[in-house]
A and B are shown apart, each in its own frame.
Chain A
Amino acid sequence: GAVVSQHPSWVICKSGTSVKIECRSLDFQATTMFWYRQFPKQSLMLMATSNEGSKATYEQGVEKDKFLINHASLTLSTLTVTSAHPEDSSFYICSAPSLGGGETQYFGPGTRLLVL
């Protein structure tokens, strides 16, 4: 089946630094990818929709200048957490729908971010 990878799987950084998380579709093309955030013992919250070749669409309450999304190719979307603070510590998960906008969503394994 289709696979979505994320890199890194975990990262620890100092407050104030920026962290880039990559989401790759390994054996299929994805014109759209989704970024979710999950705080401990909570559910997944959709942050934004990443669109290849155009600007990302952010959900209400998500700061677009803080969470920069770039979808540079049909297989790669990146999420950059700028000037990270401890409250940004979370589990970040991406997903990509199957080609053609089908129902099946393929989720990445997630990236755990800890900001000290």
Chain B
Amino acid sequence: SQQGEEDPQALSIQEGENATMNCSYKTSINNLQWYRQNSGRGLVHLILIRSNEREKHSGRLRVTLDTSKKSSSLLITASRAADTASYFCATEVTGNTGKLIFGQGTTLQVKP
């Protein structure tokens, strides 16, 4: 069953703008991960944030986690046309090591 909901479902921005995607989940988690998927391709792991962490950075990516609200956000700064893809959050549910439950995903289009 799906754990998470993401919003927005679709996002269209101009190159150089920031993109923010949100993810909500329902159960206790070990960690939350963000993945990127180009159309028809495999997944690319972007960043992992543990349940005891509140914020994490990696290059142009910033992820926050609020376990009290069971939500996370992914911020991509200074977006590029090459960032156009679908982005998914996935939670590793407590007690189920390795098993990931994916959110519905956000489709991001960055216009040049």
A residues in contact (CB < 8 Å) with B: 32, 34, 36, 42-46, 49, 59-60, 91, 93, 95, 97, 101, 103-105, 107-110, 112
Chain B interface SS verdict (over half): strand
Q: What A residues does B101 contact at CB under 8 A?
A: 46
Q: A11 → chain B, closest Cβ, in Å?
A: 15
Are B103 and A43 in touch, CB under 8 angstroms?
A: yes
8 A Cβ contacts from B64-112 to A: 88, 90, 92, 97-105
Q: How far is the CB of B44 from chain A (nearest CB, A)?
A: 8
- Min CB distance, B51 to chain A, in Å? 11
| Total CB contacts across the A-B interface at under 8 A | 57
Q: Does B58 contact A (CB under 8 A)?
A: no
**Complex: how many Å from CA A112 to CA B39?**
12
Give Cα A32–Cα B105 distance, bound, in whole angstroms: 25
B residues at A contact (CB < 8 Å): 1-2, 30-31, 33, 35, 40-43, 45, 48, 50, 88, 90, 92, 97-105
A44 and B102 within 8 A (CB): yes
* A43 smallest CB distance to B (angstroms): 5
Contact of B42 among A46, A49, A93, A97 (CB under 8 A): A93
Residue from the list A91, A101, A105 in contact with B45, Cβ < 8 A: A105
Known: A43-B104, A44-B90, A103-B48. 20 other contacts (CB 8 A): A34-B98, A34-B99, A34-B100, A36-B102, A42-B104, A42-B105, A43-B102, A43-B103, A44-B88, A44-B102, A46-B99, A46-B100, A60-B1, A91-B40, A93-B42, A97-B98, A101-B98, A103-B92, A105-B33, A105-B45
The 6 closest A-B pairs by CB, nearest first: A97-B98, A109-B42, A107-B43, A44-B102, A43-B102, A110-B42
